[in-house]
Amino acid sequence: MTDSPRTHQKVAPYRAVWLEGLLTIVTMGCYLFIWFALAARDCKRITGRSFTPILWFFAPVVCLPLPFASHILLKTFSDIEAQRQLPGWSRMQNIAWNGLFSGAYIGAYVVAEFIESQALQFVLWAVAFILFLLLHHRLNRIRQAFESEPMMHRFAGFNALEWVVGLLFLALWVGLFWALGQLKLVNVETTRIESGTEVVLPEAGVRFTVNQEGWENVPIGTVTDGTAEYELRGPASLNNMWYAVFTYTEHDDFNEVAQNRYATYLEVLPGAQCTASRSLQQGTDLLRSVVSCENTEAGDKQLYISHLIEREKGLVELVGYMWVAPRKYTQYKPQFVRDVKGLIADEK
């Protein structure tokens, strides 16, 4: 191995840092996987140690091995810097960087999965991103010290693999923003519903309370076939949750509508566990029916629930549907069912 300092084809450290930073942003953080593999490859070539670059690709993917992988990487950087008498980080700086980076990186995933705070998740990603740029600048300084270490040829700051990944994700970003733009045009009439809001529908003669955050009313036909009187869609992170209000005339038979709803649930949820209850509305001889069917598909939980109310002039029904992961199902189901069962008919 040639130990002479690199004297040509230098890449300015800060310029390369921001190029890598741009690539990380464009790929929504996925470039970190490739960066760890490339860093391990260069460490192997410089030190001759038994790094396996492909395994390092999975360190940020799996998350839990990340602190241990980062510790090995930082120690290797320190050894190389000591060997070549390069400016480096102290042992405490290595520990602090690893703790902050791993904590922020893993914390962002935990927040996304369990807390659902976009603001906190953004802060954690920003911290991890800034720390990544510092480490990348450090690696570039090491790379520049080894003229004989083969590296992939760069075009305008990026190597061929980085260009492919960057352009691919750039196309995905463009497609995503186009789709979101189209969705915004379709749903210009949507209105956010605050938690605890009583939804009053004078035209349908009903009201009910939405007890969870993130719901919004959407144009008719968004979640049904267009025959509903009113539609609500669940939180943005749970697109498979909705409520719909249906009305029927005095010519529709209560028993037939309730039975058809039950049969429909069994048809769309094969093998589902269903319950049905029927009772008189308090102080009247008018009927009330609640039909509920639960099912598991592809590991996720599904629930259909219908609350049908008989009135002097026709029937009214609130239907709810959710299809979410088991943990989300446990979290949202109680209030979800409470909303549907809380339907109140106001005679017009």
Look over the chain and give the mean of its residue pLDDT values, rounded to a whole number. 79
pLDDT on residue 112? 72
Say which DSSP state 151 is in.
-
What are the pLDDT digits (tens) for 282-306? 888 889 999 999 998 878 899 999 9
141 with 86: CB under 8 angstroms?
yes
State pLDDT tens for residues 302-347.
999 999 999 888 899 999 999 988 888 888 899 999 999 999 887 6
pLDDT digits (tens, 9 = 90+) for 213-264: 888 888 888 888 889 999 998 875 566 899 999 999 888 999 999 999 999 9
Q: Tell me how many degrees the CA angle 321-322-325 measures, rounded to the nearest 5.
A: 165
Burial readout 20-30 (b: 16 or more C-beta within 10 A, e: otherwise): bbebbebbebb
pLDDT confidence of residue 347: 62
The CA distance from 197 to 216, in Å, is 11
Separation in Å, CA 117 to CA 106, 107, 121, 194: 14, 11, 6, 17
The tens digit of pLDDT for each residue in 5-55 reads: 333 344 444 444 445 555 555 555 677 788 888 888 888 888 888 878 778
- The torsion angles phi and psi of 11, rounded to 5 degrees, stand at -110, 125
